Structure 1
């Protein structure tokens, strides 16, 4: 195989552009905050979706809001794209760099500005780790509820960008339900506050528009989050099922009974068997599926809810039920679920984590469809997910060293997302769209809907420099992908709009 020799003129132009942008950034940032050598920028070439990589032109690490404002002003003047980055734990390629762009990391803005036990709020900078908020609130008997599996490492700025959830999102909500106010910088360098620490904020509800916008609308510099009282006690039921579909029906039965568990998670046998040797959580590896159902509150409330849930699960066909008898055992049950992704490395060289959301009543149908796809693509899939709100996380197992396996994994994932849309769901839940699902957006949304998304993007970022070419596909892209929902032939390709 021949390798093309880079054109010296092109290389010289790239080097000159890098030098120009670096020099401009060094006028507003200290030298330690500007990385331009490949060996320094290499750690930023991807996020948690390591299958897609791109070396950035430059990485900046500001440590104040004023420095972020200055960086955005430089990039706007020089027309340099900016990719915001938190801890890099995202799983959809949302923080993957652009070759001629700047990665702006908020990792150094990592102060807890204020902890207010009386109002049950915390004001934090975007680089504060999710778990660190709860650790700081613990002496006050409070904690921050959203708890993604990466909570030990992920930052609140990234959580805002992706609208992250976690195993307790069924009862306590996603990031959007637990954030009161966001302070952000626009591409123009203006500092704007969205939301309020009061019960309501004047004007349009732009806070909910901004949360989950994947860094395309502005750079977060400060977040006010809600804190909730730590429950007096919590216990977890591990229910075993001989059939996956029976476990799915049990999920619907619990919600139909008026029970909203603190957490309601499901793992199939493949997941349980890959996790158990890794964590030794006490999982039933003979079961086709297990449900983890948590109750929290006062001792009396928990006892009553455990009894109610056990009755529903038994009626739904559970083959065995185990209830945590101590806090240590409860945490052990959850440790298995939260370590499912790293445990996949024990049984497969690589895995591709999908993220789609479906109506609960369709869980059994979709899991049966995924089983058929395993045969079609010749790849295994471990299913572990937020059953309570229908947020699936299929782990497609593959070996990147085998020719075409990654391509088959990608096709497998795209078909899962198409099935989610077909049954009335959506192509994402909490991982975002990024670059991973951008083609699948074409399968879900019509031209008018995509144009509305771009209208919001243009309102915040008219020059299109913030995380461009992510999350929202152009109509040209959809036409090329062949998945645009054309109505009455009203999509002449020669006039397809671009951002």
Structure 2
């Protein structure tokens, strides 16, 4: 017992010594106000939106210029200290969870809109600029930034780049990757590199596509050039009600098959509608097994035609009721329910676990039926609210963390949902990223050679492995252990993986 206590004390002493050494080095290159090291100051940074996983950071840095970002990287590189980049902390996969002996590099103070050009329809912004702030600044020119995650009033463009965020309008207007022209980033070796450019294409390898969605593992964003698009003259939303979830799923496929690409196409099951409606009073049909929100935008004539076409397809697919927004206020109210689905979960459950997987649209009904069976298996409720047009699911598994095994059951429930997504030809994430939440599920998605390819890209950008280590890409050893833990019918899954 004495030896164990002594070892723990030695660990604490070593940690404190390292923190003092790193803080002293950082004070040479940053003002004191840009460095947080006391536990009460670093506590707000111990997790992102996935609050189930927490780790108190050793030090948090708050640089307010590109030069200061480079200075933090230099100190950490010289001392061999890991760095976890952080935006607004709204991520849902634990990608910004700190490392005990590491530094959190927050880009919150790099929050200037550098330049907005109405003629080229672009905006140059620093990574700490809020998503919604870009559209607010562009509004006077009749322009806006299309990607609109539910957290857009708080999330920042740097975090959006890290996760390749989408939103309710991504079916028509694309994800972050489709709306960013250029990223300026700082490498761990102290270089400033520009990926992409002002034109629609750039010379050389398409490293911009590699960087967007890399979850802070390849470099630190210091500036982003985004595309702006004209605000539609008119936008209206259909709320279609279905007596069966399967009918709603069929309607999604029918709309796309008819050649209609709505500006937004979202689905909510009855559990979701009933938890949201008392919260925001969106006017949802809470008697329906599922509702679809389908938006048309464009000129008044285009919208009128699209609403008529969509209504006809939805009716033929089994919609039992169709309501169309009659004003901009009503349209925003319809969307407010969808965008507030996550916080509304708190009205019916102490905790929720938000998953994120993507599947082929034609398998929506099958996967939702599978999730319903899992509710019985795990004894937990699940509210389904998602980007139906993209097949991007966001099941909200409801649980109570105060009950001993409920979070463990919620995790197992989530892992089985992701395994089902892979089984039907989908993927384990759409826009939330892998982080630490889905790192084991990566073992179900990718073979060893593919994982090694990911690590090769990581090493090319970050040879020492200091940027957001142990996130997103699992080691083969981890995958082997993950496989050993999951035996079905007496057979080990992932038999192709080596056993260590």
Whether the 8 Å contact between 1:443 and 1:484 is mirrored in structure 2 is no
Runs of 4+ deviating beyond 6 Å: 3-6, 483-490
Q: How far is 1:487 from its partner?
A: 11
Q: How far is 1:52 from its partner?
A: 0.1
Aligned mates of 1:487, 1:33 — CA distance in 2: 48
Q: How far is 1:10 from its partner?
A: 2.1
Are 1:307 and 2:315 an aligned pair? no
* TM norm structure 1: 0.97
Q: How far is 1:13 from its partner?
A: 1.3
* Backbone CA RMSD of aligned residues: 1.5
Aligned mates of 1:160, 1:384 — CA distance in 2: 23
Whether the 8 Å contact between 2:341 and 2:385 is mirrored in structure 1 is yes
Aligned mates of 1:432, 1:275 — CA distance in 2: 25
Whether the 8 Å contact between 2:82 and 2:466 is mirrored in structure 1 is yes
Q: How far is 1:493 from its partner?
A: 3.6
Whether the 8 Å contact between 2:186 and 2:192 is mirrored in structure 1 is yes
Q: How far is 1:261 from its partner?
A: 0.1
Aligned mates of 1:334, 1:372 — CA distance in 2: 29
Task: After superposition, give the CA deviation of every residue in 1:445-472 in whole Å (9 maximum; x if it has no partner).
Answer: 0000000000100000010000000000
Whether the 8 Å contact between 1:159 and 1:175 is mirrored in structure 2 is yes
- Aligned residue for 2:440, secondary structure, equals helix
Paired position in structure 2 for 1:497: none
Q: How far is 1:6 from its partner?
A: 7.1
* TM norm structure 2: 0.97
Paired position in structure 1 for 2:402: 401
Are 1:151 and 2:165 an aligned pair? no
Whether the 8 Å contact between 2:30 and 2:68 is mirrored in structure 1 is yes
User: How has the CA–CA distance of structure 1 residues 254 and 27 changed in structure 2, closer, same or farther, with 3 Å as cutoff?
Assistant: same
Paired position in structure 1 for 2:180: 179
Paired position in structure 1 for 2:489: none
Paired position in structure 2 for 1:36: 37
Paired position in structure 1 for 2:377: 376
Q: How far is 1:12 from its partner?
A: 1.4
Paired position in structure 2 for 1:71: 72
Paired position in structure 2 for 1:46: 47
- Aligned residue for 1:52, secondary structure, equals coil
Q: How far is 1:9 from its partner?
A: 2.3
Paired position in structure 1 for 2:286: 285
Aligned mates of 1:419, 1:14 — CA distance in 2: 42
Paired position in structure 2 for 1:364: 365
Aligned length: 492
Structure 2 matches for 1:46-125, cutoff 5 A?
46-125=47-126
Aligned mates of 1:296, 1:432 — CA distance in 2: 29
Paired position in structure 2 for 1:434: 435
User: How has the CA–CA distance of structure 1 residues 484 and 404 changed in structure 2, closer, same or farther, with 3 Å as cutoff?
Assistant: closer
Whether the 8 Å contact between 2:88 and 2:156 is mirrored in structure 1 is yes
Whether the 8 Å contact between 2:480 and 2:498 is mirrored in structure 1 is no
Whether the 8 Å contact between 2:269 and 2:291 is mirrored in structure 1 is yes
* Structure 1 residues without counterparts, runs of 5 or longer: 495-499
Aligned mates of 2:116, 2:250 — CA distance in 1: 42
Most deviating of 415-424 and 478-487: 478-487
User: How has the CA–CA distance of structure 1 residues 321 and 490 changed in structure 2, closer, same or farther, with 3 Å as cutoff?
Assistant: closer
Aligned mates of 2:259, 2:227 — CA distance in 1: 26
Paired position in structure 2 for 1:450: 451
Task: After superposition, give the CA deviation of every residue in 1:62-97 in whole Å (9 maximum; x if it has no partner).
Answer: 000000001101100000000000000000000000
Paired position in structure 2 for 1:392: 393
Aligned mates of 2:78, 2:53 — CA distance in 1: 29
Are 1:19 and 2:20 an aligned pair? yes
Q: How far is 1:7 from its partner?
A: 2.9
Aligned mates of 2:409, 2:189 — CA distance in 1: 42
Aligned mates of 1:490, 1:288 — CA distance in 2: 41
Whether the 8 Å contact between 2:483 and 2:493 is mirrored in structure 1 is no
Paired position in structure 2 for 1:294: 295
* Structure 2 residues without counterparts, runs of 5 or longer: 487-491
Structure 2 matches for 1:262-341, cutoff 5 A?
262-341=263-342
User: How has the CA–CA distance of structure 1 residues 192 and 53 changed in structure 2, closer, same or farther, with 3 Å as cutoff?
Assistant: same
